[in-house]
Amino acid sequence: MAVHPLRPGDPRAIGPLRIEGRIGQGGQGVVYLGEFPDGVRAAVKVMSGGIDRSFAKELAAARKVDEFCTARVLLADLDHDPPYVASEYIDGPALSAAGPLRGAALTRLAIGTVTALAAIHRAGVVHRDFKPGNVLLGPDGPRVIDFGIARLADATATTGHPAGTPPYMAPEQLSGGAAGPASDVFAWGSTMVFACTGRPPFGADTFAAVAYRILHAEPDLGDLPEPLRSIVARCLDKDPSRRPSARDVLLELLGEPAAEAEALSKGARAAAGPAPVRRRALLLGAGAAAAAAAVTGGLLWRARPGEGPATGRGASTSTAGAPGTGGTSQGAAPSPSTNPPSGSGAPASEPPDSGAPGSPTASPDPSGTPASDPTSEPPAENPTDLAIAVETALAVKPLADLAFDGGLDQSSFNARAAGRVRYLPGATYSGASSDFAVRMNAAEIGAADITVLWRDGADRGTYLNGRKTAKLTKDWDLYVTMLVAMASVGVVLDLVTHTSRIDRAGRRYAGGLSAAAAPSSLREALLRISGLEDDRLKDTRLVWRLELDAHNRPSLAELTWRMPIENEQLSSTFTSHYRDWRDGTIAPPQ
């Protein structure tokens, strides 16, 4: 599938690269097809938000990864505005859009991808988001991409805010532990099951169901053949200490002992072979490529294909934007990534940004539907447990009555809304996770009936006073943006999983974090409704409260945005009351 044409507002050049087209877009930014002045083509990932600069040591290690079944970084400039990373352009589909694989093709894939992991780990780097979308099937064999990018764009360290894509996350990531090489091995095992069967071993439905199975259930290996089946089973052990290393897996697949450097070379040679045929249309296009982290603090460098990384050639004079978050791949359609840290405390006051990791509690199996609606035990203050409990409860009864009240402090931008909201189970944690049908009364422009409907995250339709509109007026667009961002249950759950410490008293939960570290959908909404520049978010803070009913469904969600102005602090509050959760849908106005 051809690279997509550039859109209005897309850059025509990034650094020395001429931009030729758009490959795709994910939570970390947009990936473009670029060309250097000498004609070398590259995939250019332009990072949204900013870059956390505290991981320079690990980023420096990333550029030392040997070229064994990985896509090389050609140029990176973290001081450019916006920051970008340019990598080899790989002409081939992602594994997520090919297969299922059998026989020699599956063996080559297994050897090639674990060779890449062994090389990555030998350089002291952890991938953190290994999945089918981050494996490209090039003409010379599989290539692993995006190693290091998840942490590069994640402003909270490994133990406080792990990156990942739920069906391929390890148990320790879901329970708030550190992501290490063993986590990558677990993800590799899940990816091999997908490559053979077309589905991950713990399912790919709602986050709650997938997380429960990863933590408590045995993997479904399908018809994965031996000897790969036994190797993958060990890689999917719940205990990271019992999983083999990537090097051990590679040596076992090669069937002979060897020195590590020799094993990597043998693995790369064994992985080379024809790429499998495509199974379905590629969402982001053939030729998607890597954008791996590979620079330290203000250095700009470039490496040519076949050469080692170049040394620094000077520092950029531009500055990066505010810190952001991200975590989707470039080689396949963006997948929701969930980042659940953990903590504990008591909600007497706003908690600090970080706390001691807690332990997850066992959750009821979310795959079944209870015959009655008994009172549920309140979830622990662990972010993962809290999000799983709420999503599990809403999977059965997703529709509620809504009363919303919110706006900007010391301004006329305020509104109230009353009507219905429906959570869409399995949707990405974002504003696209809830349908709305409300009567909104805006202080500046009056009242209107608003209906917002979504399907699989794509806008199904916005209705103003019963009439579908392709584009709202600027004023109504800002009010609807506020409603969707502040009252969507998915945004609330996303905020929960971004918070490193949660305080709890009974069924009341509270947390706080820098606005610059908030979910991207919430950051974008705050910037739009306030008119602030992106770099101002780092000076502001979000504090939230969540109250659950006896069945772990939200009854109140309150978000306060605190902004220091000279010697004052403005506090803008957005409050959503939910009641009478039930089954049902929201239909378009007739």
Can you tell me the distance from the alpha carbon of 490 to that of 428, in angstroms, rounded to the nearest whole number? 7
Share of the chain above pLDDT 70, in %: 69
Mean of the pLDDT values across residues 223-229?
93
Highest mean pLDDT, choosing among 82-96, 330-344, 366-380, 541-555: 541-555
The pLDDT, as a whole number, for residue 376 is 74
Residue 456, pLDDT above cutoff 50: no
Residue 342, pLDDT above cutoff 60: no
Q: What SS3 state is found at 192?
A: helix
What architecture (CATH level 2) is domain 92-154+164-261?
A: Orthogonal Bundle (1.10)
Q: What SS3 state is found at 204?
A: coil
DSSP 367-390: TS--SS----PPPPS-HHHHHHHH
Nearest to 293 by CA among 138, 133, 118, 125: 125
The pLDDT, as a whole number, for residue 49 is 56
pLDDT greater at residue 450 or residue 379: 450
Nearest to 265 by CA among 130, 69, 90, 72: 69
| Catalytic residue list | 129
Share of the chain above pLDDT 90, in %: 29
Mean of the pLDDT values across residues 414-437?
81
Residue 261, pLDDT above cutoff 60: no
Residue 177, pLDDT above cutoff 90: no
The pLDDT, as a whole number, for residue 87 is 79
DSSP 212-248: HHHHHS----TTPPTTHHHHHHHHT-SSGGGSPPHHH
Reported pTM = 0.51
Q: 350 falls in which pLDDT band (50, 70, 90)?
A: very low
Can you tell me the distance from the alpha carbon of 378 to that of 548, in angstroms, rounded to the nearest whole number? 8
- For 72-105, what is each residue's pLDDT tens digit? 777 777 777 888 888 788 878 889 888 689 888 8
Tell me yes or no: is domain 1-89 CATH 3.30.9.10.
no
The pLDDT, as a whole number, for residue 334 is 33
Q: What SS3 state is found at 110?
A: helix
> According to CATH, what is the number of the domain 383-582?
2.50.20
The pLDDT, as a whole number, for residue 371 is 40
Nearest to 552 by CA among 509, 507, 583: 507
Mean of the pLDDT values across residues 261-289?
40
| 270-273 own/partner pairs: CB under 8 Å, 24+ apart | 270/107, 270/108, 270/111, 270/112, 271/69, 271/108, 271/109, 271/111, 271/112, 271/113, 271/115, 271/141, 271/142, 272/108, 272/112, 272/140, 272/141, 273/104, 273/105, 273/108, 273/141
Residue 204, pLDDT above cutoff 50: yes
Size of the chain in residues = 590
Residue 544, pLDDT above cutoff 90: yes
76-90, 194-208, 353-367, 564-578: range with lowest mean pLDDT = 353-367
Q: 187 falls in which pLDDT band (50, 70, 90)?
A: very high
Can you tell me the distance from the alpha carbon of 136 to that of 150, in angstroms, rounded to the nearest whole number? 17
Q: 189 falls in which pLDDT band (50, 70, 90)?
A: very high
111-125, 191-205, 536-550, 575-589: range with lowest mean pLDDT = 111-125
pLDDT greater at residue 442 or residue 355: 442
Sheet (strand 29-35) strand order: 13-14, 17-26, 29-35, 41-47, 84-88, 73-77, 301-302
Helix, strand, coil share of the chain (percent; to 5):
30, 25, 45
Q: 386 falls in which pLDDT band (50, 70, 90)?
A: confident
The pLDDT, as a whole number, for residue 345 is 32
- For 297-337, what is each residue's pLDDT tens digit? 223 333 433 333 332 322 322 222 222 223 333 333 333 33
Nearest to 73 by CA among 30, 97, 40: 40
- For 23-75, what is each residue's pLDDT tens digit? 877 656 788 999 998 888 888 888 765 555 544 444 454 455 555 566 677 77
Can you tell me the distance from the alpha carbon of 395 to that of 29, in angstroms, rounded to the nearest whole number? 30
The pLDDT, as a whole number, for residue 563 is 84
Residue 436, pLDDT above cutoff 90: yes
Average pLDDT, the chain: 73
Can you tell me the distance from the alpha carbon of 253 to that of 392, in angstroms, rounded to the nearest whole number? 40
Mean of the pLDDT values across residues 390-403?
88
Q: 17 falls in which pLDDT band (50, 70, 90)?
A: very high
Residue 389, pLDDT above cutoff 70: yes
Enumerate the domain spans of the chain: 1-89, 92-154+164-261, 383-582
The pLDDT, as a whole number, for residue 56 is 43
pLDDT greater at residue 283 or residue 276: 276
Mean of the pLDDT values across residues 251-272?
58
pLDDT greater at residue 182 or residue 305: 182
